[in-house]
């Protein structure tokens, strides 16, 4: 697989966030591998914390704790309130919380410091603020659902701890008693001043009430309202009767006038006819008329007896008229009298009504003055009663706080606690060790796995190369030939297969091998890659293009020959003269030769292009070993002539940022990158936790070659014969 120049590296950087997200989905095995990788850091950190815990246990002073138990009861009712007269003090939780805070008040602790002379105590003498230092050694612990509280004091001396606790309790009780007496005295002084002021106000209110009563001239304003109201009620009742009589008399007069207007005799008016005198005269007239009628039956009109009878009848009739006139006059006079009585009684009613209005007004003002006087008198009496009560309370010596259990001298220290310290050291050491390992792993941004290559570099991964544990360059550079059944040789074959089976593997004839920085093993990879390619039967040429620090000639033990530098410099040197044969079938080598003074100019010359074309024409595969990309510009020049470039990265050495910059330089130069090889992995040692599965798979297949002992006595197989061209294409 190749990367074209169109696949710019910024696009790969854009995919970094998504790759990071995918890489962050780590399982527990990953963290286990991290801990195994840094196991010595974990062990050292854990032992360091345990050691610090042990040192703390050995050097820390022994702390003793003494505890005194107090009972805090509610205070008596001693406070004044303007609404109900009394406030209940200490009946709620806030009172207890206040006393808990008072136990650690600065003024109380200063008294304890003076009593116990703690300013000269070695534990507190070094502190500028002795009170603050003492408060840190004290603990107030209320006992739930009770009025009990434990006050604990810690000190290096057990006797001193008990003494401080008992002194604190005693001083607190005395301080609370003093506070109570002070509050009582202040309240008593206040109430007495209030009583003195109220006494004058009560006297003045009573004088105002008396003066008002004298000014209004009402003997009593408490019960007088019933007398005036009763008199008014009687006057109103009499007025109603008189008015009814007057209206009846006026009605009679009106009827009499109407009777007279009709021309009827007065004596026929009902009220007049009912008069006894009128009735008697009418009876007399009837008798006389009867007598006259009897005489007329016997005598004529001129008869004296008849004349006398008629004369008596006329006198009687006149008497009736005179009597009727008198009765009518009486009716009219009675009507006038009734009207006068009505008017007189109406004035009497109005007078009583006005008197009632005046009394009510005076009563309202009187009630206001009376209420003020009663209120001041009641408050004055209440204050006098409270003064008497507080006098009694002030004489009481009973305190609401007492010591239930005094502090005793502790026997065993409470700090440092051996089990707790050891447990905290173990747990804390484990946490510190794990956290430190994970933090170091977080800071470690080197390339260590296939995921790192594909996530951060966005390049194909070609394979892992194990660590070749040999100091001999020959052993390292020819490992695929000298140890064909080793894990390293199998890894080189895996890289060969990955390159061959890539997208352009069939067209890849010239490839370069480079790295980011020196000492990443790119020459070892280039040499062994050329060897495993040659083992497939392809004619392979290995070129040492590192004209600054060449090493291929040492790995293949070639001395004193002309190399690539002489060919590039001209001087009539041909390709046949610089090519050297090796012990590896199908593999030839072009060494560097003498190191030139201007390697970059030689590599960028037309001779180098001619060399690459000629080598590609003669050989099936050309592998060129180039210098590191970050060191010089030579690999960019040489790789631009090749059809693909293999980037070698040493395990856990190159940082991601440096590797990205290297890849960016190569892409900017238009190079075709085949992929990345992760080199120098210690499968059996420090890196086994990462690639143990890979190592055991290789061991499994490696053991296949050694399962029959007699196979070792058989003669070695003949050199491989190059396959036909069609088979070469299939292999490539």
pLDDT bracket for residue 204 (50, 70, 90): confident
> What is the predicted pLDDT for the residue at 57?
79
DSSP at 521: S
Peptide bond into 416 cis (omega under 30): yes
- Is the Cβ–Cβ distance between 640 and 603 less than 8 Å? no
- Provide the greatest CA pair distance for the chain: 223
CA distance 584 to 535: 8
- Size of the chain, expressed as the number of residues it contains: 732
CA distance 438 to 42: 10
CA 22 to chain centre: 33
Instruction: Give the tens place of pLDDT for each residue, 387-399.
Output: 777 776 656 556 7
> What is the predicted pLDDT for the residue at 118?
87
Place of tokens 């991601």: 656
For residue 690, give the H/E element and its range. helix 688-704
> What is the predicted pLDDT for the residue at 19?
44
> What is the arrangement of strands in the sheet containing 148-155, beginning at the earlier edge strand?
138-142, 148-155, 64-72, 401-405
CA 573 to chain centre: 82
Could you tell me which residue, 312 or 143, shows the higher pLDDT? Answer: 143
Average pLDDT, the chain: 79
State the Cα torsion 652-653-658-663 to the nearest 10°. -70
Look at 440-444, 456-460, 588-592, 676-680 and tell me which has the smallest mean pLDDT. 440-444
CA distance 562 to 550: 13
Q: Identify the sign of the CA torsion 154, 157, 159, 160.
A: negative
Q: Which residues pair with 402 in a beta bridge?
A: 71
What is the full DSSP assignment across 416-472? S-HHHHHHHHHHHHHHHHHHHHHHHHHH--B--SHHHIIIII---EEEEEE----S-
Residue 613 has pLDDT above 90, yes or no: yes
**Every domain of the chain and the residues it spans:** 224-395, 447-682
> What is the predicted pLDDT for the residue at 20?
43
Place of tokens 């050995």: 58
What is the full DSSP assignment across 592-608? --SPPS-HHHHHTSHHH
- Burial status of residue 708 (CB atoms within 10 A of its CB: 0-12, 13-18, 19 or more): exposed
- Is the Cβ–Cβ distance between 75 and 89 less than 8 Å? yes
- Is the Cβ–Cβ distance between 153 and 137 less than 8 Å? yes
pLDDT bracket for residue 677 (50, 70, 90): very high
Instruction: Give the tens place of pLDDT for each residue, 144-181.
Output: 888 899 999 998 889 988 999 999 999 888 888 887 77
Look at 352-366, 444-458, 501-515 and tell me which has the smallest mean pLDDT. 352-366
> What is the predicted pLDDT for the residue at 702?
52
pLDDT bracket for residue 708 (50, 70, 90): very low
CA-to-CA separations, 301 to 191, 195, 316, in angstroms, rounded? 121, 117, 19
The average pLDDT across 581-605 equals 90
pLDDT bracket for residue 621 (50, 70, 90): very high
Instruction: Give the tens place of pLDDT for each residue, 527-572.
Output: 999 999 999 999 999 999 999 899 998 999 888 778 899 899 887 7
> What is the predicted pLDDT for the residue at 686?
53
> What is the predicted pLDDT for the residue at 346?
81
> What is the predicted pLDDT for the residue at 8?
39
Instruction: Give the tens place of pLDDT for each residue, 206-236.
Output: 777 777 767 776 655 565 556 767 777 787 7
pLDDT bracket for residue 419 (50, 70, 90): confident
> What is the predicted pLDDT for the residue at 537?
92
Instruction: Give the tens place of pLDDT for each residue, 626-668.
Output: 999 987 888 899 999 999 999 999 988 888 888 899 899 999 9
What is the third-level CATH fold of 447-682? Rossmann fold (3.40.50)
Look at 240-249, 421-430, 466-475 and tell me which has the smallest mean pLDDT. 240-249
CA distance 632 to 609: 19
- Is the Cβ–Cβ distance between 632 and 546 less than 8 Å? no
> What is the predicted pLDDT for the residue at 186?
78
pLDDT bracket for residue 27 (50, 70, 90): low
CA-to-CA separations, 527 to 69, 476, 546, 576, 625, in angstroms, rounded? 86, 9, 13, 20, 8
pLDDT bracket for residue 360 (50, 70, 90): confident
| φ, ψ dihedrals at 534, nearest 5° | -65, -30
CA distance 371 to 250: 54
What percent helix, strand, coil does the chain show, rounded to 5?
A: 60, 10, 30
For residue 648, give the H/E element and its range. strand 644-650
Place of tokens 């040659």: 534
Instruction: Give the tens place of pLDDT for each residue, 292-336.
Output: 788 778 877 777 887 888 888 888 878 877 887 787 788 888 888
């Amino acid at each position: 697989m190749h990367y074209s120049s169109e696949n710019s590296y910024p696009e790969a950087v854009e995919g970094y966030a998504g790759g990071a997200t995918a890489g962050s989905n780590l399982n527990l095995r990953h963290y286990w591998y991290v801990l195994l990788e840094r196991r010595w850091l974990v062990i050292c950190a854990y032992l360091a914390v345990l050691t610090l815990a042990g040192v703390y246990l050995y050097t820390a002073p022994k702390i003793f704790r003494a505890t005194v138990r107090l009972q805090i009861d509610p205070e008596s009712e001693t406070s004044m309130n303007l609404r109900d007269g009394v406030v209940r003090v200490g009946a709620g939780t806030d009172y207890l919380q206040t006393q808990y805070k008072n136990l650690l008040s600065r003024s109380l602790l200063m008294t304890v410091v003076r009593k116990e002379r703690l300013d000269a105590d070695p534990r507190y003498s070094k502190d500028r603020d002795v009170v603050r230092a003492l408060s840190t050694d004290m603990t107030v612990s209320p006992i739930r659902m009770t009025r009990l509280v434990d006050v604990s004091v810690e000190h290096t001396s057990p006797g001193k701890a008990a003494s401080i606790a008992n002194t604190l309790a005693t001083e607190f009780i005395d301080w609370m008693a003093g506070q109570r007496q002070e509050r009582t005295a202040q309240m008593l002084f206040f109430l007495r001043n209030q009583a003195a002021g109220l006494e004058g106000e009560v006297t003045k209110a009573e004088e105002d009430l008396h003066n008002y009563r004298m000014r209004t001239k009402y003997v009593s304003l408490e019960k007088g309202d019933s007398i005036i109201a009763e008199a008014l009620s009687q006057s109103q009742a009499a007025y109603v009767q008189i008015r009814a009589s007057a209206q009846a008399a006026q009605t009679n007069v009106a009827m009499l006038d109407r009777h007279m207007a009709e021309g009827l005799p007065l004596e026929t008016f009902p009220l007049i006819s009912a008069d006894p005198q009128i009735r008697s005269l009418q009876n007399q007239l009837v008798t006389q008329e009867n007598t006259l009628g009897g005489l007329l039956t016997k005598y004529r009109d001129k008869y004296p007896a008849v004349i006398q009878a008629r004369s008596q009848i006329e006198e009687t009739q006149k008497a009736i008229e005179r009597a009727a006139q008198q009765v009518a006059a009486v009716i009219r006079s009675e009507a006038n009298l009734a009207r006068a009585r009505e008017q007189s009684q109406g004035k009497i009613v109005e007078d009583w009504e006005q008197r009632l209005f005046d009394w009510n007004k005076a009563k309202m003002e009187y009630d206001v003055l009376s209420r003020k006087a009663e209120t001041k008198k009641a408050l004055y009496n209440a204050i006098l009663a409270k003064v008497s009560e507080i006098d009694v309370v002030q004489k009481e010596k009973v305190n609401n706080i007492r010591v239930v259990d005094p502090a005793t001298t502790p026997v065993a220290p409470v700090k440092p606690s051996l089990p707790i310290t050891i447990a905290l050291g173990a747990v804390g050491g484990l946490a510190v060790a794990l956290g430190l390992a994970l933090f170091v792993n977080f800071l470690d941004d080197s390339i260590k796995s296939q995921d790192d290559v594909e996530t951060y570099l966005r390049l194909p991964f070609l394979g892992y190369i194990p660590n070749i544990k040999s100091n001999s360059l020959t052993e390292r550079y020819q490992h695929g030939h000298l140890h064909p059944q080793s894990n390293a040789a199998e890894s080189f074959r895996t890289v060969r297969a990955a390159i061959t089976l890539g997208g352009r593997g069939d067209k890849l004839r010239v490839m370069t091998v480079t790295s980011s920085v020196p000492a990443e093993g790119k020459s070892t990879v280039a040499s062994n890659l050329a060897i495993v390619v040659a083992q497939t039967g392809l004619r392979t040429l290995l070129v040492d293009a590192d004209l600054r620090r060449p090493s291929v000639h040492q790995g293949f033990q070639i001395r004193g020959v002309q190399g690539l530098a002489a060919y590039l410099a001209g001087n009539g040197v041909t390709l046949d003269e610089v090519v050297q044969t090796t012990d590896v079938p199908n593999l030839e080598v072009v060494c560097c030769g003498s190191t030139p003074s201007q390697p970059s100019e030689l590599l960028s010359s037309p001779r180098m292009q001619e060399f690459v074309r000629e080598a590609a024409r003669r050989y099936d595969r050309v592998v060129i070993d180039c210098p590191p990309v970050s060191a010089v510009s030579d690999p960019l020049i040489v790789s631009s002539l090749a059809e693909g470039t293999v980037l070698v990265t040493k395990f856990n050495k190159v940082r991601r940022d440096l590797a990205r910059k290297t890849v960016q330089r190569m892409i900017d130069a238009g190079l075709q990158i085949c992929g990345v090889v992760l080199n120098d992995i210690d499968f059996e040692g420090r890196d086994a936790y990462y690639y143990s599965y890979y190592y055991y798979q290789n061991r499994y297949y490696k053991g296949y070659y050694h399962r029959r002992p007699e196979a070792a006595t058989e003669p070695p197989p003949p050199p491989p014969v190059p396959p036909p061209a069609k088979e070469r294409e299939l292999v490539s």
